[in-house]
Structure 1
Amino acid sequence: MNDLERHGVPEEVETDGWTLEVTGSVDDVLSLTRADLESFARESIVDDFVCEEGWTAEGLRWEGIRVASILERAGVSDAGEYGLVRALDSGYACSFPIERLADSVLAVELDGESLALEHGGPARLVPVGNDRDCWESVKWVSAIEVRKSEPTAADTAKDAALSRVS
């Protein structure tokens, strides 16, 4: 049984009129629509997705925007050391050091197709590197908040995500 079969799409996830808000320690607060994302260069990464629940989806081809490009457009201030990535569902959020977040991809396509709602569309954060955890791949990304201090456990969804693991 995969993640979609087990968890589905939460009722509160509404993508009509979706925007990505970039706020916090930035020079320019951004509110990007799907059309705005087209102005960014696209990158593709091919990788396996290994879930804590014990299943693996092999060779997924994600296409999207390197988060560094979005942060560059917003102009991260010198004080911006962390990023809190929020989702549309019940306050789900994950925290990253700003450099690690910048290396991630905001995926808008999966295997050559627009990212479907059940896979986290319209935009899903795909962290890169061997030290990532599956719960950090934030579905239904709605905001990136740049912070000077590290978000607390209360700001993130690690415990909520891990509680889903059977």
Structure 2
Amino acid sequence: MSNRGTEETYETQIGRAVKASNELVNNFHRDGVDRGCIATFNNTMIIRQNFTENETLIHRSLDGLVDVADGGTRLYDSMVGVIRTFHRYGNRTRPWVLVVVTDGDDNDSILSYNRCIGEVSRLFTNDTSNFLFVLGVGDNVDSRKMEEV
């Protein structure tokens, strides 16, 4: 059962993140060609959907996230963790796009902001075929923090 399209599902901050992520998949993913992976982060980073070319599986994984928000936010640790997952399981011969949907808040990471940015640059954005997009969701998005990331 899909939650896509039910407006009351999207009233929470995580719901808005799910809605924005579903729209990104609808607009950019080429079923059977591109591979997507869904990861969440709060106190830990969890891979919710391993890399797949199947758009339906990606949407199903996203739709299952509306009740997941809990605990602190390890934004910096998780960004680096996802990039390391790309290195282990991604197809390194193709361009990578990392989309982080967040309110920009990090209140639980072990990595500092500067260490995170250094790792993201070294492992990901240093390669000109890789792209990082950070999308802010929620009522209190700190645009300064979003720009920094």
TM-score using structure 1 length: 0.27
Looking at both structures, which has the greater relative contact order when contacts are Cα pairs under 8 Å and sequence separation is at least 6? 1
**Structure number having the greater strand percentage:** 1
**Structure number having the greater helix percentage:** 2
TM-score using structure 2 length: 0.29
